[in-house]
Structure 1
């Protein structure tokens, strides 16, 4: 009976480990390549779409790649199997740095400025 409890505990740990293997930050968005860009495309847009633990990358050259949380560090690294390469991302998802030296910085839209709108205080 003791062995059954141990086996069930180990299975539960494996299931919990698998369920939590998704990036800790929301990486979905537009990025700009700012360092070591392919074909010298500094400033070119790159795109990330995250769906659970599956992450789709579109590089600054338009190449589409799939990535997953790296099993060594699922809360801070991605693994890109097609390139045999990993990438580390910042906790806030603002920066992704690849093993080959490329760096993507999140491209934030300019702040929205509303002119002529009344300012109401105390509400």
Structure 2
């Protein structure tokens, strides 16, 4: 009976661990704009994020780059290595709020022009 309980516990731990490890993070790849507490006062500056699975490369509004990665223990947190700071992102990936107050918002660009009317 005891061996059966141990096997069940191992199965349960393995199943939960596999589910968390296999979960794909949100895709943050894209262009953002800095709107608050920007480096060197560059409000509205372009920010670029390139993501490959759990690894992230970032170029901020001042042209400074950093590697970043998702926090294993908090599903909406990112750690930026070169800047020694963390941030949280919104569930839809539209905003990134840094611990020090910087705010980035995804730049979707201008909407497409309306279709031309034919005469």
Q: Output the TM-score relative to the length of structure 2.
A: 0.83
4+ residue runs over 4 A deviation? none
Q: Output the TM-score relative to the length of structure 1.
A: 0.81
Larger RCO, structures 1/2 (Cα 8 Å, 6+ apart): 1
Report the equivalent of 1:36: 37
Compared CA separation, residues 83 and 116, structure 1 to 2 (3 A): closer
Between the aligned partners of 1:81 and 1:54, the Cα distance in structure 2 is 11
User: Any gaps of 5 or more consecutive residues in structure 1?
Assistant: 119-123
Judge conservation of contact 1:46–1:59 (CA < 8 Å) in 2.
Answer: yes
The alignment's C-alpha RMSD in Å is 1.8
* Pair 1:113 & 2:113 matched: yes
Report the equivalent of 1:61: 62
Between the aligned partners of 1:82 and 1:7, the Cα distance in structure 2 is 38
Judge conservation of contact 2:65–2:82 (CA < 8 Å) in 1.
Answer: no
Report the equivalent of 1:12: 15
Deviation at 1:58, TM superposition (A): 1.0
